[in-house]
């Protein structure tokens, strides 16, 4: 096969990059790593030595089980931007792993103490919520990807607000515009309140959360992992049914200020439902 001295066959390129023929063809089709050129006569893929660094980065990220779509995002832009995207993804992965550990702990606890209640009773309260400016990201998520979506979106929003010089009073919340289950996706909206003037950017929208009344119950950080958190939703729904108060918006999880630093048994999250009839 003819080619310039700087061109590498798919076999040579794959050997030097640590990638198989199958992987290279996949990355070509996905647009992650197309060959430098394709021979018009025989259709052979020819790569440039300059592509080796990108190929090796892709190989390392695949070893982390990073999805191809995320790899594409990480490789877009400068190395500084890639580092930011990489750190956001890894923070989301760590949060997801911690959530899985909590789910396992919950299941073990239920198997060991099946006759005990899974969530101690606590009061459902109401409060008035003032008008609030928020920056938000909407995304589709199922139960498995939910924690990663929440963490990565929150980090992205806060980075944007900080860069814009906005004030951050603390806390955040996630609005569920549909039922997120292990089997189905729904739209979730990650919201971070702020003070000041900020423009929207990319997936980040700027809007005003209207004033409203909401019913809520508070759970600890240990209790906020799935599936234990669903018991808090049950508690809130039972209260709403008994109170016969109509709802006025989507249910939400409100994360207390400095949530990441809150200890396991301490109050950390409010499960809240906007309601009518008490303003």
In the chain, domain spans: 7-67, 125-275
Do 7-67 and 125-275 come out as alike in CATH topology?
A: no
* Side-chain-facing half-sphere of 183: CA atoms under 13 Å: 0
Name residue, tokens 């990441």: 260
With tokens 């899985």, the residue in question is 100
Judging by DSSP bridges, how do beta strands 186-193 and 125-129 pair with one another?
Answer: unpaired
**More confident site: 107 or 156:** 156
CATH homologous superfamily for the domain 125-275: Regulatory factor, effector binding domain (3.20.80.10)
Measured between alpha carbons, how far is 201 from 157 in angstroms, rounded to an integer?
Answer: 10
Q: Which residue has the higher pLDDT, 222 or 115?
A: 222
pLDDT given at position 211: 95
Burial 158-179 (b: 16+ CB within 10 A, else e): bebbeeeebebeeebbbbbeee
Task: pLDDT band for 132, please (50, 70, 90 cuts).
Answer: very high
Checking if the pLDDT of 164 tops 90, the result is yes
* Percent above pLDDT 90 for the chain: 68
How confident is the model over 82-110, as pLDDT tens digits?
999 999 999 989 888 887 887 787 777 76
Beta strands in 5-160 (DSSP E): 7-9, 37-38, 45-48, 125-129, 132-141
Q: How confident is the model at residue 250 (pLDDT cuts 50, 70, 90)?
A: very high
Question: Smallest Cα–Cα separation from 243: which of 272, 271, 203, 215?
Answer: 215
237 CB-near residues (< 8 Å, 6+ apart): none
Top-level class of domain 7-67: mainly alpha
109-130 pLDDT, tens digit each:
767 766 566 678 899 999 999 9
The answer to whether the beta carbons of residues 20 and 59 sit under 8 Å apart is no
Tens of pLDDT, residue by residue over 8-63, are 999 999 999 988 999 999 999 999 999 999 988 888 889 999 999 999 999 999 99
What would the mean pLDDT of 159-177 be, rounded to a whole number?
96
Q: How confident is the model at residue 182 (pLDDT cuts 50, 70, 90)?
A: confident
Give which of 62, 61, 37, 36 is closest to 51, Cα–Cα. 36
- DSSP of 182-193, one letter per residue? SS--EEEEEEEE
- Unique residue bearing structure tokens 């310039």: 4
Distance of alpha carbon 93 from alpha carbon 99, whole angstroms? 10
CA–CA separation, 109 and 265 (whole Å):
16
pLDDT band, very low/low/confident/very high, at 1 (cuts 50, 70, 90): very low
């Amino acid at each position: 096969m003819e080619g310039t001295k700087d061109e590498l066959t798919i076999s040579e390129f794959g050997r030097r990059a640590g990638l198989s023929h199958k992987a290279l063809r996949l990355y070509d089709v996905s647009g992650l790593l197309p060959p430098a050129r394709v021979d018009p006569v025989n259709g052979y893929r020819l790569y440039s030595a300059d592509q080796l660094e990108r190929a090796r980065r892709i190989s390392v990220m695949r070893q982390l089980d990073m999805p191809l779509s995320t790899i594409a995002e990480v490789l877009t832009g400068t190395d500084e931007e890639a580092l930011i995207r990489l750190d956001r993804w890894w923070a989301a992965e760590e949060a997801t792993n911690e959530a899985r550990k909590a789910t396992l702990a919950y299941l073990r606890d239920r198997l060991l103490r099946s006759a005990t209640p899974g969530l101690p009773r606590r009061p459902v309260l109401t409060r008035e919520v003032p008008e609030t400016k928020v920056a938000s990201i909407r995304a589709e998520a199922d139960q498995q990807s939910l924690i990663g979506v929440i963490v990565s979106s929150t980090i992205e929003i806060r980075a944007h607000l900080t860069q814009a010089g906005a004030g951050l009073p603390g806390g955040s919340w996630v609005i569920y515009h549909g039922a997120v289950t292990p089997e189905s996706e729904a739209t979730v909206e990650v919201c971070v309140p702020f003070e000041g003037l900020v423009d929207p950017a990319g997936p980040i929208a700027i809007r005003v959360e209207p004033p409203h009344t909401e019913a809520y119950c508070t759970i600890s950080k240990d209790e906020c992992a799935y599936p234990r958190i669903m018991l808090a939703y049950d508690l809130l729904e039972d209260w709403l049914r008994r109170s016969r108060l109509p709802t006025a918006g989507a249910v939400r999880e409100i994360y207390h200020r400095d949530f990441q630093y809150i200890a396991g048994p301490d109050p950390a999250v409010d499960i809240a439902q906007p309601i009518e009839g008490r303003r």
